[in-house]
Amino acid sequence: MHGTEKMHRTEDSRAGDAGFSLVELMVAMVLVLIIMGGALTGLTNAYRSNESAKAVTGVNNNLRIGIDVMVRDLIQVGQGLPTGRTVQVPSFTGALAIQRPHPQGSACTTFPAVDGKLSAVTPGPGCGPTIENRVTDLVTTLAVDSVLDGVPVQSFNAGAHTATVSTPAQSASGKDISAGNADDVRVGDLLMFTKGSMSAMVYVTAVDGNQTVTFAGGDPMNLNQFHASPDDMGTVDDLATTAPVTAQSAFVSRIRMISYYLDNTIDPTTPRLIRHMGWGDPAAAVNRRGGTVAFSIETLQFSYDIVDSVNNPSGVRMVAADLTAAGRCAPNPCSPNQIRKVNLFIAGRSAETFSVTRRFYRNSLNTQVSLRSLALRDKYR
């Protein structure tokens, strides 16, 4: 009896130490897989949500930065320019066309001739690259730099093509233009000389330490043209020799010429919005003369609201047809001088495609900017 009971107890003890059965093990594995699958699904969804949020944020940031910078510049368009908000350029018989900042490969390499003057706004519909089968635009604007605005000219030397700017000691509104400061006049700057109703714009080719700027011929924009003729309009020689010719009878201001366009040549996979100040470095490649404002911008288009005292059309693209009597301003041609508002449309995409759809996120912004200096008159100037 005792031996049998002892054997039964031993067998019962071994049976209790046998572990999980196969069914129990499979059930446990299924539960673990379900839990892990749920966790991985949650992590995947979180990753995709984060990827989507980053893409959307990136697109919107680029659009916002692009819009903000352009609006800031457009608000100042025409500031400080002469009556009519235009600047005269060389327009005598045989004068060369004024070269225009432009994107690489653009056919719009010169300013269109409008009565021998450059307007505060020069549209360039279709002058940008074609991106995603959509033609993009170019726009160029002019405004006076308030740091150098209406400073008296002490003297001209027509033969040497120079002008000497008055110092603070010579005039209450004089300015030291070569004091080693960040706002000094430098080679490549654009200056506007005015005398009465006359004006002329030049490209600075040299600056010395005695307040003298040189605007020698052969500049990259063809602004420095000289022609000894009675019809020598729009040149500094003409302005300098027109009475009165006394000291401080003419004034000089620095011009901020700003062009906006898209570029898809620096990196063909990432089109970008370019802000091009003046002509840029003539020694640099065409697509390296401007600065990048925003990346992954695919569309840039402008239209304009016109005041023509007849129909005042809005949303005018200023294409070639609009510049004829049959265009939007019929029965007269539209003119850049009639522009009072700019309608801006910009569209962009994410830097990378979404991992699920393999497509880019896209968004767009549009706004309207009233050009204050063109729509309003400053009675104090």
**pLDDT score recorded for residue 354:** 82
* Residue 66: alpha-carbon gap to chain centroid: 8
Residue in this structure with the two tokens 């994410």, named with its chain if needed: 350
Between CA 196 and CA 88 the distance in angstroms is 13
pLDDT > 90: percent of the chain = 69
The domain locations on the chain are 56-375
Q: How confident is the model at residue 158 (pLDDT cuts 50, 70, 90)?
A: confident
Give the chain's mean pLDDT. Answer: 89
Q: What share of the chain is helix, strand, coil (3-state, %, to 5)?
A: 25, 30, 50
234 has a pLDDT exceeding 60: yes
**pLDDT score recorded for residue 54:** 81
**pLDDT score recorded for residue 33:** 82
Burial 137-176, CB ≥16 within 10 A → b, else e? bbbbbbbbbeebbebbbbbbebeebbbbbbbeeebeebbb
Q: What's this model's pTM, rounded to 2 decimal places?
A: 0.86
Q: What's the order of all strands across the beta sheet hosting 297-306?
A: 297-306, 339-349, 362-370
Beta strands in the chain (DSSP E): 86-88, 117-119, 121-124, 130-131, 134-135, 138-144, 151-157, 162-165, 190-195, 198-203, 206-207, 212-214, 251-263, 272-277, 291-295, 297-306, 339-349, 362-370
9 has a pLDDT exceeding 70: no
Q: How confident is the model at residue 16 (pLDDT cuts 50, 70, 90)?
A: low
Span 307-329, pLDDT tens digits: 988 889 999 999 999 999 999 99
DSSP helix/strand/coil, 11: helix
Q: How confident is the model at residue 126 (pLDDT cuts 50, 70, 90)?
A: very high
- Average pLDDT of span 291-303: 96
CB–CB of 342/76 below 8 Å?
no
Residue 315 structure tokens: 């949303």
Span 42-79, pLDDT tens digits: 776 666 666 777 888 889 999 999 999 999 999 999 99
Between CA 5 and CA 11 the distance in angstroms is 10
* Residue 255 dihedral angles phi and psi, to the nearest 5°: -100, 135
pLDDT > 70: percent of the chain = 90
- Average pLDDT of span 228-241: 77
Between CA 144 and CA 82 the distance in angstroms is 10
Q: How many CA atoms lie within 13 A of 212 on its CB side?
A: 11
- DSSP codes of every residue in 267-307: -TTS-EEEEEESS--TTS-GGGSSEEEEESEEEEEEEEEE-
Q: How confident is the model at residue 228 (pLDDT cuts 50, 70, 90)?
A: low
Greatest Cα pair distance, the chain, in angstroms, is 143
- Comparison of pLDDT for 127 and 112, the residue scoring more: 127
- Average pLDDT of span 180-207: 94
Between CA 164 and CA 211 the distance in angstroms is 5
339 has a pLDDT exceeding 60: yes
377 has a pLDDT exceeding 60: no
**pLDDT score recorded for residue 374:** 83
- Average pLDDT of span 106-128: 93
